[in-house]
């Protein structure tokens, strides 16, 4: 079959088979398929879906489109989240696992839209570098046990080509395309065991439990089919995770968790992923010591981590409860929109983020509050996005007499 026949076949509603998928990925990378052809293929695949065999072929072909990282016989583990508001789990989990003797080669991304990116958060630490070369990564993995770095241009280049077109053609939310995109990068990064955190709710990519479960199940089947030990958990993103959403404010909260404190939901999720025996490493300082070693190895200023700061140009507005009662709702989507508008997020890959702005909640879902109590601190720069942020929080946070009704369990069964 030539390219035109393959296109006509998906156009007419036949899901592409493994061979056809491999040919399209090759054509995307070597330039033999034009952008309109690829865009049309993506749009039709969005409609037809794909078999598991074809998704495995997509994942492997995308992973093989660039250089594969190879850690020799070192067993590696990684966690990937589909993204949410206040999700700083990776910052805690990578050094925690490393402190327990695991090797964690974590290749992370930047934020886009409402969901923050792990790299943006870490870059709030002065000097922290996320553009490390393969030799540096190998040495750091051996000596520290973990790294969190950015995707190099050699890692799954097919994903960059296809993802940009998906963004332009509104075909991002397709389960086969998401599966191929996420898993190809993990396969190329040499991950042996993969723990997936599929977020569900208003602050997530997947807003319904059914869609999130379908994605989680496909990720596990295809991950196993491509040779990675893969597990997936559905976790709540109807409210933010923890109290802080932004960049520097999330690093502060991750540090508190690494020192045995921090919000209960963040700690519970980290411990659920880290597995038995991990609690002590948070409480006795081993995980934090490992985080400090990672920060230093990546050029960051470890002294910044514990230092009280008053960042210049940042002002704080306090949001207060307008009645006495129980916190019934803290909508993740509303907090995400507030934080995004303040400048902590970006709408397109080229934009810079402001490391210091954000929202720090002063109360949690279900808590009792009195009228006038502090509900949230809004950190803004020169008023950028402030009015809209306050409006989003006004709609998104509700106090009533009943408390939360129908909130998702932190780990959705
Ligand atoms: N994250 C990715 O890396 N790819 C997707 O397609 C969606 C989320």
Chain segment 35-62, per-residue pLDDT in tens: 999 999 999 999 999 999 999 999 999 9
Q: What pLDDT shows up at residue 81?
A: 96
Residue of 163, 183, 188, 212 to mutate, ligand 1, most atoms within 8 A of C-beta: 163
182 lines ligand 1 (CB under 6 A): yes
User: What are the chain's domains?
Assistant: 3-49 (no CATH), 77-304 (3.40.1030.10), 314-400 (3.90.1170.30)
- DSSP per-residue letters across 299-358: T--GGGGG-----TTEEEEEEE-SSSEEEEEE-HHHHHHHHIIIIIS-SSTT----SS-E
Pull the structure tokens for residue 87.
């999700």
Would strands 374-381 and 358-361 be described as parallel, antiparallel, or unpaired?
antiparallel
Distance CA 89, CA 247 (A): 13
Task: Read off the pLDDT of each residue in 11-18 and give the average, rounded to a whole number.
Answer: 97
CA of 368 to the centre of ligand 1 (A): 38
Residue nearest to atom 1 of ligand 1 (CA): 182
Cβ 245 vs Cβ 359: under 8 Å: yes
Q: How many CB atoms lie within 10 A of CB 394?
A: 13
Token pair 């989240």: residue: 81
CB proximity list for 43: less than 8 A, separation 6 or greater:
169, 171
* List of residues 6+ apart from 134 with CB closer than 8 A: 69, 152
What b-and-e string marks burial along 284-312, b requiring 16 or more CB atoms within 10 Å of the CB? eebbbebbbbbbebbebeeebbeeeeeee
Residue 178 CB–ligand 1 contact under 6 Å? yes
Ligand 1 probe mutation, 90, 168, 172, most atoms within 8 A of CB: 172
Q: Which of 182, 185, 237 to mutate to test the pocket of ligand 1 (most atoms within 8 A of CB)?
A: 182
316-360 pLDDT tens trace: 999 999 999 999 999 999 999 999 999 999 888 789 999 999 999
Q: Does the pLDDT of residue 226 top 80, yes or no? A: yes
From CA 85, how far away is CA 356, in angstroms rounded? 16
Q: Is the pLDDT of residue 187 over 80?
A: yes
Tokens of 326: 């129980």
> What separation in Å is there between the alpha carbon of 82 and the centre of ligand 1?
7
Closest residue to atom 2 of ligand 1, CA basis: 182
Catalytic residue IDs = 78-81, 118, 166, 181, 185-186
């Amino acid at each position: 079959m030539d390219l035109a026949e393959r296109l006509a076949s998906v156009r007419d509603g036949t899901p592409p088979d493994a061979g056809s998928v491999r040919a399209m990925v090759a054509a995307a990378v070597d330039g033999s398929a034009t952008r309109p052809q690829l865009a049309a293929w993506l749009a039709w695949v969005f409609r037809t879906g794909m078999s598991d065999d074809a998704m495995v072929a997509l994942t492997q072909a995308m992973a093989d489109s660039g250089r594969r990282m190879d850690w020799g016989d070192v067993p590696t583990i990684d966690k990937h989240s589909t993204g949410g508001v206040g999700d700083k789990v990776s910052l805690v989990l990578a050094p925690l696992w490393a402190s327990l003797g695991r090797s964690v080669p974590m290749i992370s991304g930047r934020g886009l839209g409402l969901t923050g990116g792990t790299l943006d958060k870490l870059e709030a630490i002065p000097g922290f570098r996320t553009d490390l070369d393969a030799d540096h990564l190998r040495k750091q993995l051996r000596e520290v046990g973990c790294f969190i770095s950015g995707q190099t241009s050699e890692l799954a280049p097919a994903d960059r080509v296809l993802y940009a077109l998906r963004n332009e053609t509104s075909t991002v939310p397709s389960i086969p395309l998401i599966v191929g995109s996420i898993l190809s990068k993990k396969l190329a990064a040499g991950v042996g065991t993969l723990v997936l955190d599929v977020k569900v709710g208003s602050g997530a990519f997947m807003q319904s439990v059914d869609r999130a479960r379908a994605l989680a199940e496909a990720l596990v089947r295809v991950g196993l089919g491509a040779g990675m030990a893969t597990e997936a958990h559905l976790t709540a993103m109807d409210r933010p995770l923890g109290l802080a959403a932004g960049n520097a404010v999330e690093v502060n909260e991750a540090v508190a968790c690494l020192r045995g404190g921090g919000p209960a939901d963040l700690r519970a999720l980290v411990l659920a992923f880290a597995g038995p025996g991990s609690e002590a490493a948070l409480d006795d300082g081993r995980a934090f010591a490992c985080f400090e070693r990672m920060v230093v190895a990546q050029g960051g200023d470890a002294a910044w981590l514990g230092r009280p700061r008053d960042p210049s140009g940042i002002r704080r507005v306090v949001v207060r409860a307008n009645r006495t009662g129980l916190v019934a709702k803290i909508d993740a989507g509303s907090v995400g929109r507030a934080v995004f508008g303040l400048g902590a997020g970006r709408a397109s890959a080229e934009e810079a983020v402001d490391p210091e702005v954000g929202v720090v909640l002063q109360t949690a879902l279900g808590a009792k509050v009195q009228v006038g109590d502090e509900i949230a601190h809004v950190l803004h720069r020169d008023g950028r996005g402030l009015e809209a942020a306050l409006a989003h929080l006004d709609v998104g946070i509700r106090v009533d007499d009943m408390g939360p009704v129908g909130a998702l369990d932190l780990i959705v069964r």
